[in-house]
Structure 1
Amino acid sequence: MEAVIAAAITGAFSVLGIVISNIKSNKKIGDQIEHQLDTAQAVTDCKIEELTREVREHNNFAKRVPVLEEQIRVANHRIADLENSK
């Protein structure tokens, strides 16, 4: 009977040790995953900011091209008028 009680107590402490070990291990893994997610989010935010800057730059260029085309057209007409007036 004493051997059974000793085995049960030993088993209970073994299980308790395993549970505590698993809890600490899971917390450590959870912290690592959280850090990786934070890092990935920071990289994503940086890439989005860069893409936003490039899109704004492209949009500004797209707005200016028609103005330049009109100025070139006017300049071509003026050159043609000057050539015809000779």
Structure 2
Amino acid sequence: MPPAKPLQKLTADIVRNPLHSLLFLSLAGAVIVLLQLYSSLNDDDGAWEQFKIDHHCQLQTNQSGTQRHSWLCDDGKLYYRWRQQR
């Protein structure tokens, strides 16, 4: 019977404060999603240099030529430097 006591306490807390429980679960879910996005972004950035070479990507600049905006590759797609994903 001792393991049931913490479960009963948790259930009572959830029933007493359903809004707090929902908020906690939402924040925990958001943290998990953000961690997954961060890890996938790092994976893509690691392969960008080779992808850029393989697909003959050309740096695109604004009209004055002072800012680098994106890369145009021979696959016909435009890739942005802060998000080089395929």
TM bucket, shorter chain: 0.3 to 0.5
TM-score when normalising by structure 2:
0.43
Q: Counting strand residues as a fraction of each chain, which structure ranks higher?
A: 2
TM-score when normalising by structure 1:
0.43
Q: Larger Cα Rg: Structure 1 or Structure 2?
A: 1
